[in-house]
Amino acid sequence: MIAVIDYGMGNIGSIIKAFSFIGQKVFIVNDPDLLNKYDKIVLPGVGAFEKAMENLNSRGMADAVTEQIKKGKTFLGICLGYQLLFETSEEEFSEDKHLVTGMGLLNGNVKKFREDISLKIPQIGWNSIKTNENMRILKDFDEKYFYFVHSYYASIENSSEQDYALTQYGITFPSAVEKDNILACQFHPEKSGDEGINLLRKWVEQ
């Protein structure tokens, strides 16, 4: 069974629809105590990193997700749900720019695209990923195109502990990661047509 975490900042409707298309029923979960019931967990998300962490922490969901991942539960993070796995994020509120603490399950920090990359920010639209043969799930999606919507990207601090797919948008940044039981991606597989559906199917079947 698949749990999709509801913490008030997810694109849950499109995720339900995508999993339904491949014959998978998902359950919306907002109670951290219920996560034990499920075989697989999806953490979606759109919006601000800090608000997302506030919501997850206030509901006890950040600790519950961390516990389930450390137990080896199959996990998928999407977009903001990918960024939240890292150690910190850059966020700008009023005149202050500060680092917001994430879940710390992946090594690295989330940074804002520089305005001097001469490309539109946020990145909105289709872009390809570069994978490698060491990846269990993503290796079959080398040079495939997926749908992105984001102004921030993960900056790798220690790539030896994680296996990344890479994408070029002014700079080269890690657009997806596989680490043990974690698959997480900056792009939206549920909005990425056939390739996205194939990726979700392969994640379910792993």
Query: Taking residues 126-132, what's their average pLDDT?
Result: 96
Residues involved in catalysis: 79, 188, 190
The 8-class DSSP code of residue 175 comes to E
Q: Is residue 92 pLDDT above 90, yes or no?
A: no
The confidence score (pLDDT) of residue 67 equals 97
The confidence score (pLDDT) of residue 117 equals 75
- Rounded distance, CA 57 to CA 119, Å? 34
Specify the 3-state DSSP secondary structure of 56: helix
Mind listing the pLDDT tens digit for each residue in 130-155?
999 999 999 999 999 999 999 999 99
The confidence score (pLDDT) of residue 26 equals 95
Q: Is residue 186 pLDDT above 80, yes or no?
A: yes
| Structural domains counted in the chain | 1
Checking 121-129 for CB contacts under 8 A at 24+ apart, the result is 121/151, 122/149, 122/150, 122/151, 123/148, 123/149, 123/150, 123/151, 123/169, 124/148, 124/149, 127/167, 127/168, 127/169, 127/175, 127/187, 128/167, 129/165, 129/166, 129/167, 129/175, 129/176, 129/187
Q: Domain containing 92 — which CATH number?
A: 3.40.50.880
Q: Which domain holds residue 109?
A: 2-205
> pLDDT band for position 162 (50/70/90)?
confident
> pLDDT band for position 93 (50/70/90)?
low
